[in-house]
Structure 1
Amino acid sequence: MGLLTNIKSSISTVTSSLFAGSEPKRIGIYGPPNAGKTTLANRIARDWTGDAIGPESHVPHETRRARRKEDVEIKRDGRTVSIDIVDTPGVTTKIDYEEFLEHDIEKEDAVRRSREATEGVAEAMHWLREDVDGVIYVLDATTDPFTQVNTMLIGIIESQDLPVLILANKTDLEDASVKRIRDAFPQHETIPLSALEGDNMDEVYDKIAEYFG
């Protein structure tokens, strides 16, 4: 019985190793608040599954918990890349309930949202350190990328040795500057896009397949 058990165990180990690479890779979508992370996540999910991941909003910190869309199959050049998309809350150093008051949200609801958003940032950091295989980092191309949060997050991603694709989003807006994003993080490739309009998504999908396939 002992020999038979060992043989079965060996077969199980070999089989597991053969199929380990077929598991979808968990790709975290990170970036500051209102960079367009959920818009991008929804664009990818709709293009390949027909379903959205979560609501989009101009109100800051609308995404206050990480949301996951599993088994998204992206087909490029005759091959299929399977990923799980993790849409994370926007990471920032300070979340004040007064931000929500500016959007005509009642104080009690604003306080609750700020507390949930703070917890969501902690959750996003946990995902980054423990549970993702790669990162899509979304930046608003109309704003200055040289911030403490962006520098910190890119540094953590690099220290984790995670593949990272930087996306300069909102190129449909007149004051967008892709060069400003590229100059901020020249060590990484930057791809321009408008997640809202769907502009340049073919290149984004090519790069996702290249980086995370």
Structure 2
Amino acid sequence: MMRLRVDTATDTSFIKIHVNPRCLHPCHPRSFHQPTTNNHQPSTKHPNPLKMIKDIVRILQDIAQAKGLEYHYGKKAALNLLDGTAQPGKIFLLHEFTNRKSEYNTSGTKITAANYEGKFFLVKHADFDQQYFAETGTQDTSKYTANIEPLLEVFTAIGNTLACLTAEVTQWDNIDVTDALDANMDGLLCSYSLKIPVHYE
């Protein structure tokens, strides 16, 4: 409880209030630490915990899950084992191994960012006998119209999401692929190069 001593001067136009500094709340800027006799243990929490850079694998996985995509990561030989026929219409983001390069501050004493370069397939199950564009039928039933063109919108949406997450994207390219992998997939083979700062969360 705060203890106050009130002095009134002969001039009743003002009142002086003296506050005992020992009674100030601990969060008050004028408060000070009072030694205690209990066995309170000091906190072991580090005041400045080390910030870790979120890896591109987890970043793309989070984006894929948020957009309802099936995400897999690994070398191409492992991705080739996936069976796309089990989920017709499902969009897959098949992420191949990525290259990681650290970026240091000007004094060379601290990592400030990570640079990533790699590729991923953005694909869906395809009909092997389906025409690519309009060779033997109409465009409406082609691989491009049914499988590739819709994935261009997904590709753009992923790129925009990365840009909104403070990633510095320097390359975001794609090329059409048809009947790719053993699972027979149509879609896009995408290439990326981007930088993630250390404060990314």
TM-score of the superposition, structure 1-length normalised?
A: 0.29
Structure label with greater radius of gyration: 2
Provide the TM-score with structure 2 as the length reference.
0.30
Structure (1 or 2) with the greater strand fraction: 2
Which structure has more relative contact order (CA 8 Å, sep 6+)? It is 1
Decide which structure has greater helix share.
Answer: 1
